[in-house]
Amino acid sequence: MPKPIYVLSGPNLNLLGTREPEIYGHQTLDDVRGLCEARAQSLGFEVVFRQSNHEGDLVDWIQEAREAACAVVLNPAAYGHTSIALLDALKMLSIPIVECHLSNPAAREAFRRKTYVSLAATGVVSGFGAASYELAVEAAAGLAR
């Protein structure tokens, strides 16, 4: 079995399913985990699935992924727009990075249209709700092969 795909989610995604469901949908983060695990398994991969509201946790996990993962899927949430620390950590990776968003940031407020994460990402999947994570895992697996 290859190294796992790290699927990391940032702040407020622990409230998925109840937080602004008109934007983010009704599926919970546990539902998203199940989708990611099933998609990864069908492609011959496993996932390490984590969420934190704390920027430093995400930085630590990205650093850990340097050795432990074959790819990273990252939904940075609001940290995407503010965190140079996440960008710096991502720039240290030599594995594929897929940025993931439930909504389409380009169709939302101006401040959401650019992320620091995009500067380091191999690619971006956005706008498909919980399926964005599934598509990101599929892309990450393809890139990691």
**Count of structural domains within the chain:** 1
Residue 75 structural domain: 5-144
Is 54 one of the annotated active-site residues of the chain?
A: no
Q: Are 122 and 111 in contact (CB under 8 A)?
A: no
Q: How far apart are CA 76 and CA 20, in angstroms?
A: 17
Spot the catalytic one: 24, 79, 116, 133: 24
Q: Are 132 and 125 in contact (CB under 8 A)?
A: yes
Which tokens belong to 72? Answer: 């990273």
Is 101 one of the annotated active-site residues of the chain?
A: yes
Q: What is the CATH number of the domain that holds 88?
A: 3.40.50.9100
For residue 109, what pLDDT is reported?
Answer: 66
Spot the catalytic one: 6, 79, 101, 133: 101
pLDDT, one tens digit per residue, over 23-60 is: 777 889 999 999 999 999 999 999 999 999 999 999 99
Report field, pTM of the whole predicted structure over 0.85: yes
pLDDT, one tens digit per residue, over 68-107 is: 999 999 999 999 999 999 999 999 999 999 999 998 777 5
For residue 107, what pLDDT is reported?
Answer: 58
Q: How far apart are CA 57 and CA 124, in angstroms?
A: 22
